[in-house]
A and B are shown apart, each in its own frame.
Chain A
């Protein structure tokens, strides 16, 4: 079973994403900010990260830069943000994201991106 880490400071968003992903057969873990996510990434392997931009302590960009820069993990990451502007998406890809979704995310959007990035059939 593929493992996915959801990184978001909003508990409701984490629950929403968890429901969608678990219903589709994925195993899910959660982190409330970038620092907690780094700790989890150091301790266990995930197949994908779903990362919010705005979080206290360490934001999504900071998390991805650390994850990639320190070579903690190179597995795919989807950044999720309320901001749809092109420069926000560019910043996400520069930080190390492999996908970008604008909130509020619909289940089909999330699952399509997840399956594509994990390398499963859509």
Chain B
């Protein structure tokens, strides 16, 4: 079990409330404290305990205090290990809209870790997960982003998944996307939004 050393120059708040050393087991206990400040500090310091990623994920699903949720996600992002990433993906299926959005923003900070999972996410049976996956792509500086988006608008049957992908393709797309965008317009010829978004994307691509 890892031990976390007290920082060399602790804040006043730390000096008043934290003990000299805090082992992972005691941090885990504090993560369930009724005091949100204790939970927040525990979540922050657990960054030194990668074996506790799953416990952080479980806490994230029930945590109601926004500031604690933010710290848990920051810690998981800093850990960036497979358990943390898998837990974030799991949260994309949550009924809690705020949690889903926070997780999307956190995943955007982990391009290298998230990229290997992207094909799986874009093929997920749940269209909402596929939409969130496209949202994550927005900030994923990865050479495959354009080809992933082209695959989405070619193959995905769900209009809102395609709509989300078209928005992004207008920003990152090249002439490689033109034919697929034209085909998308034909496939959803009765959807005014798709016509609007695809025309906008085509105009932007042609301007660049």
Q: Which residues of A contact B (CB under 8 A)?
A: 10-13, 15-16, 19, 53-56, 59-62, 82-83, 87, 103-107
Main secondary structure of the interface of B (DSSP, over half): helix
Q: Does B8 contact A (CB under 8 A)?
A: no
Q: Does B87 contact A (CB under 8 A)?
A: no
Q: A104–B128 contact, CB under 8 A?
A: no
Chain A residues with CB under 8 Å of B131's CB are 82
Q: A56–B105 contact, CB under 8 A?
A: yes
Q: Name the residue on A nearest B191 (C-beta).
A: A104
- Range of interface residues on B (Cβ < 8 Å): 20 to 34
A and B contact pairs by CB, cutoff 8 A, 13 listed: A10-B164, A13-B193, A16-B193, A16-B197, A54-B97, A54-B101, A82-B127, A82-B160, A103-B160, A103-B163, A104-B159, A104-B192, A105-B193
B66 to chain A, nearest CB (A): 9
Q: B128–A82 contact, CB under 8 A?
A: yes
Q: A12–B200 contact, CB under 8 A?
A: yes
Given contacts A83-B128, A103-B160, A103-B163, contact A12 B170 (CB under 8 A): yes
A26 to chain B, nearest CB (A): 18
B157 to chain A, nearest CB (A): 14
Q: Which residues of B contact A (CB under 8 A)?
A: 95, 97-98, 100-101, 104-105, 127-128, 131-132, 135, 159-160, 163-164, 166-167, 170, 191-194, 196-197, 200
Q: A104–B160 contact, CB under 8 A?
A: yes
Closest 5 CB pairs of A and B: A104-B193, A82-B160, A12-B167, A59-B97, A12-B197
Point out which of A12, A16, A62 has the most chain B C-beta atoms below 10 A from its C-beta: A12
Given contacts A11-B167, A19-B196, A104-B160, contact A60 B128 (CB under 8 A): no
Given contacts A13-B167, A15-B200, contact A103 B97 (CB under 8 A): no
